[in-house]
Structure 1
Amino acid sequence: MKILMVLTSHGELGNSGKKTGFWVEEFAAPYYVFADAGVDVTLASPKGGQPPVDPASTKEDAQTEATKRYDKDEELQKKMSETKKLEDINVNDFDAVFYPGGHGPLWDLANDLTSISLIEKFNEQMKPMAFVCHAPAALANVEDHKKPLVRDKKVTGFTNSEEEAAGLTDIVPFLVEDKMNQLGAHYSKGDDWSSYVVIDGRLITGQNPASSEKAARELLKMVQKKS
């Protein structure tokens, strides 16, 4: 079983002067779900190399068992520093794809033509796909038969109220909840900061960092059923 994980290469939080990137828990929790099940995981990002880490995700209140494990995992940190370039990825080599969040994807993966094409190919090949927290932003410009991929699909993603609590409503280029609704998706959400995952066919979306492990387990189940 082979799963591709796609991370952001974007590290600037708009014009705020602050840094962003990927959210550690949203990478670490799913990665270990896959790796512990014997899955071969490939890491990729638009620019390749070391993806930027959202500094807020390394703070004490954001730590989980998975992030603590990652902090001690020198082998995985080396692998992270050497992510492959998205343009070098062949969808035929993978059974599924997982996109962790963090605010970075709002700027790069939402508009990255290589990522958009990649997701469209995974969809055409009817392979499971999962997007957590801000990562559903990567679906913003993805199409299926000339219409938005998420139109009429059940999805979730980081809520407007969670973004407001983070104090970034006026900094982000768009709000995930609003974008999904604008695209005609059937967006739903759980309580802020609680685990909430939505499945529609082969598309899995998770609302926030707390949803990342469950989203990964659902993706793994789909891959195991197919193999």
Structure 2
Amino acid sequence: MAPSTPKILIILTSHSKMGNTGNPTGWYLPEFAHPYYKFYAAGAQMTIASPKGGEAPLDPSSVEMFKEDKEAVKFLKEEEGLWKNTRKLSEFLGKAGEFDGVFYVGGHGPMFDLATDEDSIKLIREFYEAGKVTSAVCHGPAVFVNAKLSDGSYLLHGQEVTGFSNAEEDQVGLSSAMPFMLEDKLKAAGGKYVKADEAWGVKVVSSGKNGKLITGQNPSSAGAIGEAILKALQ
């Protein structure tokens, strides 16, 4: 049975600078906005956290890119309290039992902090091993590249997974600014990487325990991953 009120822990990056370029980065607007409205419509309770707590940096380029996107504009205008007052991720260690799932929002920021954040890696293991929905979109799946299970094996080993592709990174001209290429690292962690037939196409993959490891490829996949997460909670 579906929980009457799904409880979802949403994680944002705390990282605000793009590698050594000096340019701003952070989390990506539609990748929070589109799933948020899916969760909201389903009556979900959402708790927002980040590694440092407090204000999680919004990538300004995503605001510009999605200025014609009605949901993104509405979210930016009405919901800023969600990302300006996040709780510290570390507060939620040992509390997987209080939630039905965890969702990591993308943006380039997670490549620099959440991919190697020890608290995040522990949190992911706790949620996954407890049979909870464990999910991420776009660059968010960077959080899985170093995640291991209690037996020491990679969480992604043998599992289908998606995330921002090498081709997409090349097309936005940011491959040289990244600490690693996400597609390559997901494969190196044992993941069976899959992607949409064309760059920027919608792709959401459910694998792992009862299909509860859920990943989305890119910003276009943000609404679809929200729907997939809710379906997995049923």
Q: TM-score range by the shorter chain?
A: over 0.9
Which deviates more from structure 2 when the two are superposed, residues 199-208 or residues 57-66? Answer: 57-66
Moved more, 63-72 or 168-177: 63-72
User: CA 1:112 to 1:60, structure 2 compared with 1: closer, same or farther past 3 Å?
Assistant: closer
2:102 and 2:112 mapped to 1: Cα distance? 20
Which of 162, 175, 179 is the aligned partner of 2:168? Answer: 162
**125, 128, 136: which one aligns with 2:130:** 125
In 1, distance between residues paired with 2:75 and 2:89?
23
CA deviations on 1:137-194 (whole Å, 9 max, x unpaired) are 0001101221110010001100001000111111100111000111121101111111
Secondary structure of 2:175's aligned partner: coil
Post-superposition offset of 1:71:
2.3
Say if 2:90 is the partner of 1:87. yes
**Identity across the alignment (%):** 43
195, 199, 223: which is aligned to 1:192? 199
Following TM superposition, the consecutive aligned residue runs of length 4 or more in structure 1 with deviations greater than 2 angstroms are 60-63
Give the AA of the match of 1:199: S
Using the size of structure 1 for normalisation, the TM-score is 0.95
Q: Secondary structure at the match of 2:179?
A: coil
Q: Displacement of 1:60 after TM fit?
A: 4.3
Query: Unaligned stretches of 5+ in structure 2?
Result: 1-5
Of 152, 155, 174, the match for 1:149: 155
Compared CA separation, residues 111 and 63, structure 1 to 2 (3 A): farther
3-state SS of 1:147 partner: coil
Shift in alpha-carbon separation, 1:60–1:23, aligned structure 2, 3 A: closer
Q: CA deviation at 1:64?
A: 1.8
Q: How big is the alpha-carbon RMSD for the aligned residues of Structure 1 and Structure 2?
A: 1.1
Letter in 1 for 2:88: K
The reply on whether 1:103 has 2:108 as its aligned counterpart is yes
Instruction: Please point out which of 38, 47, 53 is paired with 1:48.
Output: 53
TM-score normalized with structure 2 length: 0.92
Residue 59 of structure 1 and its aligned partner are, at CA, apart by 0.6
Quote the residue 1:177 is aligned against.
Answer: 183
- Equivalent residues, number: 222
2:26 aligned with 1:16: no
